[in-house]
Amino acid sequence: MHVIFGGTFDPVHHGHLRLAVELRERLGVTRLALVPSHVPPHRESPGASSEDRLRLLELAIEGEPGLYIDERELGRAGSSFTADTLRQLRSELGPDEPVAMVVGADAFAAFDQWRDWQGIPSLAHIIVVNRPGTVVDPGSAAGRLLAERRADSPDQLHGRPGGLCLTLDLPLLAISATGIRERIGSGRSPRYLLPDRVWAEIRARKLYGAVR
């Protein structure tokens, strides 16, 4: 099964990385793709350029064979829409390869605001990671989708190309990229919230208001 975990990674931190490892192990896949977005359509523009965020991500996963970077969204002009990414992947992998996309419950709650959202289940499975304090309204479009396409275990995803929704409770580290940017901008240290190599590169590139 081909699994993609997208985000701005602005900057990548231990919360992202630990979640990616947990996902790979829980889903029973050899590798998991991290897909950095170029221009996120549903949030403010990233605080660092696509090039900078990609470099930080490369440093963060170096030496971890279970994770790799899919750069396709960085090469597309304009906003990074998940439906476009999945259509491209499906054309490359063929109609029979199981494909799954990962989304947090907070983002999934507004799934009906995504571009071409109704077509996404035909392209891939949807894995919703539960987050503390977030409840998907059962009466919403997202809630109905979860109920209609519910999968009870990761094994079910391996048996068909797409179309199922699986919710997962995983150990989450309470780390926020927004909080990290605010810390750096105010002159405080974000050490231990992200890999040391990432923090060193942020200082070297003077990202997010960092000084050397």
CATH number for the domain spanning 112: value is: 3.40.50.620
C-alpha 79/C-alpha 84 separation (Å) is 10
Q: Is residue 189 part of a domain?
A: no
Is pLDDT above 80 for 9? yes
Is pLDDT above 90 for 80? no
Q: Is residue 139 part of a domain?
A: yes
Number of structural domains in the chain? 1
pTM of the model: 0.93
Q: Is residue 15 part of a domain?
A: yes
Is pLDDT above 60 for 42? no
Is pLDDT above 80 for 45? no
Q: Is residue 188 part of a domain?
A: no
Range(s) of the domain holding residue 59:
2-172
pLDDT by residue (tens digit) across 149-175?
Answer: 999 999 999 999 999 999 999 999 999
State residue 41's pLDDT score: 61
Residue type, 40: P
pLDDT by residue (tens digit) across 53-79?
Answer: 999 999 999 999 999 999 999 987 777
Q: Is residue 195 part of a domain?
A: no
pLDDT by residue (tens digit) across 13-34?
Answer: 999 999 999 999 999 999 999 9
By the 8 A CB rule, do 10 and 50 touch? no
Is pLDDT above 70 for 206? yes
State residue 79's pLDDT score: 76
Q: Is residue 17 part of a domain?
A: yes
State residue 44's pLDDT score: 66
Q: Is residue 190 part of a domain?
A: no
Q: Is residue 187 part of a domain?
A: no
By the 8 A CB rule, do 108 and 141 touch? no
How many C-beta atoms surround the C-beta of residue 119 within 10 A?
Answer: 11
State residue 153's pLDDT score: 95
By the 8 A CB rule, do 176 and 132 touch? no
| Nearest one of 120, 1, 2 to 70, comparing CA atoms | 2
Mean pLDDT in residue range 185-189? 95
